[in-house]
Amino acid sequence: MLDRFGAHDATDLAALVAQAKVSPTELLDAALAASAEINPQVNAVVLTQEDVARHAIAKGLPRGPFSGIPFLLKDLGAEAVDFPSHNGSRLLANTRYDRDSAIYDRIRATGVVTWGRTTSPEGGVGAATESAVYGGPTRNPWNLDHTPGGSSGGAGAAVAAGIVPFAHGSDGGGSVRIPASCCGLFGFKPTRARLPDGPYAGEGWAGMAIDGFLTHSVRDTAIMLDACAGPDLGAPYVAPPLQRSHADAISRPPRRLRVMMVETTFTGTAIHPEVRSAVLNAARLLESLGHIVTPGLPRADIGGMMRAWTDIVAVGSALGIRKALRGRPLTPDLVEGVGRGALAHAERLHPTRYLEAVGEIHAFGRQMAAVFDDCDVILSATLAEPPARVGRFAHTTEDYVAYRTGPEGIFAYSPFCAVFNASGQPAASVPMGMSASGLPIGIHLAAPYGADEELIALCAEVEKTGAWVREKPPLRAK
């Protein structure tokens, strides 16, 4: 879509709409045609609501920063009356909502033309998107044998393949940043409570989950964050106020920053050599910009955090499954293996364990806050290796704990992202590397709690150097 209309990103497209050089209907037609061409191969777009989108255009779109731009919601959260959801699960297939979520209200006010949803793994648990409810795995347009990541994998695949210029996602353990890394996109996780959760949830996964976006540019993300930021009515927590807008923050470079460069995992384990090379290249780039880069490791209980995260998410999964079952038996045709395993694990926990785990997460957040006494930014890889092959993280196993924390589990593959969901600190994946086999490699940047503006300004500074991946995936809408 961007190539067809000579645009760099959604902001460019919106300018063309504002100048009447292209109409919202033309853009919607292009998005639908791109989906028809590409989606049978990537399996990223579901629950298409073309009539809703055309009615919205006919009625008159809000005069927002992205008026007329085609858009997709993740098929998990972002509850909307006009957009039923499977939530990645056969148990919750065709769920309808009686009111719109606060995040969808704010997204709609930007003027986007929402016309469907994108695939997600069951329960949003996992670094791949292969839910049975969609009839097959979602695939990476860079290489169909590999995953686009998870849990916002459908969003990543749809944007990378050119079906839409940007899309909604959410991130409870890296679920925006992992697809960004796998698909060569930008993904930003804001500070905890920066975006609204209500009214369907008080907080996601004890405050570890938050909405976000998959984009081609920092400015698209910055503008969407500005449009959506702020608590909804009755929010239990409020993020520290911004000193200026995200869009204003990216208009000039940040101050020169002290950067902790981590070329291993946060516990010192070696990562894939091609990924390590990308981290070292990013460190040299930041040094060339005048930032002070020093090797290091964050001093925090990473293992304890991962165990607490695993228990909290198991309890959250169990709650959702039991509620949706409504007394029916738990059977494989309704819930996949990982979901059944999560429920079983949750029900084996002591009744006090949930609050104990939340307390451990909060203690971990204090440890991570102290790490930033000695640095302003932590630089690492987003994933410990290039994008995994399809099937590696399928939800067939019932060993939920091993799936998450085992030697071949999610945390071994993605040891960086969940750290900042637990701490609540802002973090981003920027597309700054490619593997020898032609798969994107993301670089991860994280900042202190509340320092969203400085972090996104750094991302914009890096983007302007031209160091981002500029190649296009082989599978891209014509």
Reply yes or no on whether the pLDDT at 314 is more than 80: yes
Contact 195, 170 (CB under 8 A): no
Instruction: Give, in degrees to the nearest 5, the angle at Cα 206 between 375 and 138.
Output: 90
Inter-residue contact 347 to 411 (CB < 8 Å): no
Give yes or no for a cis peptide into 199 (omega within 30° of 0). yes
Residue 117: which residues within 8 A CB-CB, separation 6 or more?
Answer: 45, 46, 47, 72, 73, 74, 75, 83, 85, 86, 154
Residue 313 has pLDDT above 80, yes or no: yes
Within a 10 A sphere around the Cβ of 376, how many other Cβ atoms? 20
> Does the pLDDT value for residue 204 go beyond 90?
no
The count of C-alpha atoms lying within 13 angstroms of the C-alpha of 250, restricted to the half-sphere facing its C-beta, is 20
**Strand intervals (E) in 113-230:** 113-118, 167-171, 186-189, 210-215
pLDDT of residue 4: 86
- What is the pLDDT confidence band of residue 477, given thresholds at 50, 70 and 90? confident
pLDDT of residue 72 exceeding 80: yes
Question: CA 255, CA 243: separation in Å to the nearest integer?
Answer: 15
- Residue 404 scores a pLDDT above 80: yes
pTM given for the model: 0.97
pLDDT above 90 for 428: yes
Whether 35 shows a pLDDT value over 80: the answer reads yes
pLDDT given at position 120: 98
Reported as a pLDDT band with limits 50, 70 and 90, residue 470 is confident
Q: What is the mean pLDDT of the segment spanning 450-475?
A: 96
Q: Which CATH number fits domain 10-302+358-464: 3.90.1300.10, 1.10.3720.10, 3.90.79.10, 3.50.50.60?
A: 3.90.1300.10
pLDDT, tens digit, 9 for 90 and up, residues 251-293: 999 999 999 999 999 999 999 999 999 999 999 999 999 999 9
Average the pLDDT over 135-147 and give the result.
98
The per-residue pLDDT for range 165-185, each reduced to its tens digit, is: 999 999 999 999 999 999 999
478 pLDDT above the threshold of 80: no
Whether pLDDT at 406 is above 90:
yes
**Taking the CA atoms of the chain, what radius of gyration do you get in angstroms?**
20
What's residue 195's pLDDT? 97
Contact 71, 61 (CB under 8 A): no
**What average pLDDT does the segment 219-232 reach?**
97
Inter-residue contact 212 to 189 (CB < 8 Å): yes
Q: What would the pLDDT profile of 349-366 be if each residue is shown by its tens digit?
A: 999 999 999 999 999 999
According to the model, what pLDDT value does residue 48 have?
98
> With pLDDT > 90 as the criterion, what percentage of the chain qualifies?
97
Q: Which residues are catalytic?
A: 74, 151, 175
In 165-300, where does DSSP find H-type helix? 177-183, 218-228, 246-249, 273-288
Is-contact 25 57, C-beta < 8 A?
yes
Does residue 388 contact residue 129 with C-beta atoms inside 8 Å?
A: no
Domain boundaries, the chain: 10-302+358-464, 303-357
Crossing angle of helices 273-288 and 452-464, in 10° steps, is 90
What is each CA distance from 351 to 20, 327, 346, 398, 420, in whole angstroms? 60, 21, 9, 22, 26
pLDDT interval class at 91 (50, 70, 90): very high
